[in-house]
Every structure is written in C-alpha cells, then in structure tokens.
C-alpha cells in the first residue's frame, strides 16, 4: 500500500507591536509521529496522529521566542489516491518560559493546498494575541516518523 505521511501542521507565532499586524514565517519539524492509518469501508484512509514538534520562527517582535516546542495532534482524511478529503490539526506551543498558545488549522483542498491556521488561546507574553495565517504541509525529513511544514501569518496584539 502506498503510504504518504502528511504531517503537522501547525503554525504561526509572532506578535504585533503597538496593536499593528506583524508578519511571521516559520518552519516546523515533527518528530515521534505516532498514529495508525485505518481504511474505512468506502476506501477512505483516516489517520489520527500525535507528534512532538520543533518550531523555528523568523520576524519575531523583540522579546518573543524564535524557537518553540509544540505538542500537536491531527486527523488526516485521505482518498484512496491519498488526496486530502478534509484534514485538521491542533498544536499547543510553548517557549522556554512556558508561555505559549494553542493554534488550530485545516487543509481544505484535495491537492493539500488551502491550509489555514488560527490561534484560539494564548497565555503569558502571548496573551490576547490573534494569529491568522496560511501553511503548507511537507513530507518526512528523517524517516517515516518525521514530517515538515511551513507557514506565514500575521499576529495582532490587543489594544
């Protein structure tokens, strides 16, 4: 069986200065990806995964982390040709101080494009910050239990 490991996911980090929007880009590396793929009666594949992630971030506002760790989970729904049939993910990211946020996302298109992310909760130095961004799922970088992804997004701080 052909097996394509689409990985998390997740995304974005950087806060806006003075209430303005700030652009951020990042790359994520998923390690220790776990989850069994199940074949449904209609031939659809469903894979629920968990992973430990490392995020490297660019264009961070002063005082914010350029490296974070995240705990991510996802549900990947794929057709028999491994096209996307609607997949979703959630990541809880923390910096070295324990400050962080929770981001959720989805991938809409069959060709794995149309990935969007949004922050739904944040604490510490990220409290009240809102992310809206796009993402792109990559592939394994060091074996089947790994994965990569990139993102670009804008954060705004509450006034």
Per-residue confidence in pLDDT tens, the chain, 159 aa: 333 333 323 323 222 223 445 678 999 999 989 999 999 999 999 999 999 999 999 987 777 899 999 999 999 999 999 999 999 999 999 999 999 999 999 999 999 999 999 999 999 999 998 889 999 988 888 888 899 999 999 888 777
Residue whose entry in the numeric block shows the structure tokens 């998390």: 8
pTM of the shown model:
0.82
Kindly give, in sequence order, each residue whose CB lies less than 8 Å from that of residue 67, ignoring residues fewer than 6 positions away: 54, 55, 56, 57, 95, 96
Where along the chain do its domains lie? 22-142+149-156
Q: With helix as H, strand as E and coil as C, how does the chain read?
A: CCCCCCCCCCCCCCCCCCCCCEEEEEEEEEEEEECCEEECCCCCEEEEEEEEEEEEEECCCCCCCCEEEEEEEEEEEECCCCCECCEEEEEEEECCCCCEEEEEEEECCCCCCCEEEEEEEEEHHHCCCEEEEEEEECCCCCCCCCEEEEEEEEEECCC
User: Are 128 and 157 in contact, with CB atoms under 8 Å apart?
Assistant: yes
Do β-strands 22-34 and 37-39 pair in parallel, antiparallel, or remain unpaired?
unpaired
Q: What is the pLDDT of residue 63?
A: 76
Displacement of CA 142 from its chain's centroid (Å): 18
For the segment(s) 22-142+149-156, the CATH number from 1.10.357, 2.40.350, 2.60.120, 1.10.8 is: 2.40.350
Spatial distance between the Cα atoms of 53 and 94, rounded to a whole number of angstroms: 11
């Amino acid at each position: 069986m052909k097996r394509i490991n689409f990985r998390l996911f997740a995304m974005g980090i950087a806060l806006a200065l003075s209430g303005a929007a700030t652009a951020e880009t990042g790359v994520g590396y998923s390690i220790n990806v776990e989850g069994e793929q199940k074949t449904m009666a209609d031939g659809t594949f469903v894979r629920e995964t968990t992973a430990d992630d490392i995020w490297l971030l660019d264009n961070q506002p002063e005082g914010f982390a350029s490296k974070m760790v995240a705990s991510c989970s996802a549900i990947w729904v794929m057709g028999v040709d491994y096209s996307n049939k609607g997949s979703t993910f959630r990541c809880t990211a923390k910096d070295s101080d324990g400050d962080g946020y929770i981001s959720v996302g989805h991938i809409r298109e069959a060709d794995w494009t149309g990935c969007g992310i949004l922050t739904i909760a944040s604490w510490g130095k990220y409290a009240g910050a809102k992310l809206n961004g796009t993402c792109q799922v990559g592939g394994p970088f060091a074996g089947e239990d790994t994965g990569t992804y990139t993102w670009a997004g804008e954060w705004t701080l509450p006034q």
